[in-house]
Structure 1
Amino acid sequence: MSLHTHQADLFESSRGRLEAIAYRLLGSAGDAEDAVQDTFLRWHAADRDRIGIPEAWLTKVLTNICLNQLTSARVRRETYVGQWLPEPLLAGDRMLGPADTVEQRESVSLAMLTLMERLTPNERVVYVLREAFGYPHREIAEILDLTEVNCQQIHRRAKQHLTTDRARTEIDAAAARKVVEEFLAAALSGDTEPLIRLLADDAVSVADGGARVSATRSPVVGALRSARYLRGLFRPSAARRASVGGNPALHAAVVNGGPAVLVAVGERILGVICLEATPDGVGTIRLQVNPDKLERITRQWTAAGPHRPLAQMW
């Protein structure tokens, strides 16, 4: 069927919400974009005159597409080289979706997106739609073809699986920049002691190179080991400068609601270092260096430029 202007406009008015749902479900901006595009193609082919509530129809179609992707993603993750981390997004990216409540902000944090990998596909859908978008259990049950009671049980299980002992600190842009400045001062000091003081005792460093870029394949656990690991990354090296085509500039940013360092050469982001702030210090350091997961953030960052770096890396 041909798509009339008002029907195309109706879909476009829903695109941002659909992207935000898909990103939370898949942890990948690229996969989320593909899922939304597949939803559009099905909307285009549907008998739209028989669709009573377009928003509900679009959400159900998108959710089913994401469920299929989540199932196949589990197989892909089993052969993923090294540690898998979610794709980072800059503050202001519409794919981050609503951020009015603590639950909405938490649902898109890298910590929560990583934890949600523990959930079954149905648990993830129920948790995201309920916590981040406020869908009533009745509507979620209809989307998943479940009973409302079953949906409530799945929601309780999901919340239990996502329980963590570590308290995350919510910070604004100014506080995030301060965390980044303190981190860079310690990382560039030439000594591990400043880093150790900045990190929580049980700090963990995790890197995702996706077999595209060299990265440690196992988490580095503990403040001392993490400090030594990070110090090695920031140690000046002519060979590293040559391999990336210059001296990387270090920028402060807010990524998925938390403080982050963007590592860039020219207009190309080579890596994102996300710092999870906790009352005990920086708890988890997530290094995303897989080029496949840096394309969207590079576009967003370049479009918002020019940027003044805080420091140079090597």
Structure 2
Amino acid sequence: MTVTDEITLFVNPTAGRGRGARAAQPAASALRAAGFSVRTVLGENAVDALTRARAAVEGGTGALVAVGGDGMANLALQAVAGTGTPLGLVAVGTGNDFARDLGIPVRDPVAAGRMIAEALKEDRLRDVDLGRVHGMREDGSRADGSRDGGARADGTWFGTVLASGFDSRVNDRGNRMRWPVGRFRYDLAIVAELAALRPLPFRIRLDDGEVREIEATLVAVGNGSSYGGGMRICAGADLQDGLFDITVVGDCDRRTLLTVFPKVYRGTHLAHPKVTVHRAARIEIQAPDVTGYADGEPLGPLPLTAECVRGAVRVALF
């Protein structure tokens, strides 16, 4: 494979409280030092930025390099998935879970820029799986049998985890809060959601065709292993096996959830009797009054269908 000399830097200047803007220049300098021409895409907003990124890909850019966190990586995936255009990550956001899963250095834009340059020059690229979310079945109906035009999530790609249940409700609450700023806002949202904790009636269908109706605290669909900055909710997920790891946390009370939750950073929560794991290439998932999130970005209300697409994106790695 021959990579063109022009690289597109896809920048979120607000990522990590301004780290995105500060990281763009040293990353660009590292790429230029390796002989690449670098152009930068910012965009006035997410829609405009994605339009510009897609135009760069369609124009034959040698790679799209996302500078920011998981949200910026997710936006970049919408431009490069299925195209063969390599994706590079300069991970300087808060969570950086997709980069960590790929073994890419985080919060070191110089190292990341050099790594991307070397990978492109040496053809050190890997095709990895992505999840793709749909709000409707192939016959045009939603997963609940209705025909209301589908969800906003139709065709959205994701790299890490699709969250639904307690974790997505924490996101909902945290996103509504205007104070405090940063991660502490989500810590407060966790406390508030714990106070209101109750199991939810989920209905899931995997690719074996069996419908499972369960009371659960959350259902996490993992293409990658972690979300939320290192919470290994789907610890066994493999980015190249063509399957999701689907973690179901059952009907926990607050005490049980507080016992299980700290273990998620090591992945040892999977051994708890309230936790089960399924592996499947496709899942239909529904529950009342629950929003789905993927890579930390809102997808819209359940029901949703997700499929694991093998080798959907080519990534520059060490």
- Is the TM-score greater than 0.5? no
Bigger Cα Rg = 1
Which has more strand, going by share of residues? 2
Compute the TM-score of the two structures, normalised by the length of structure 1.
0.29
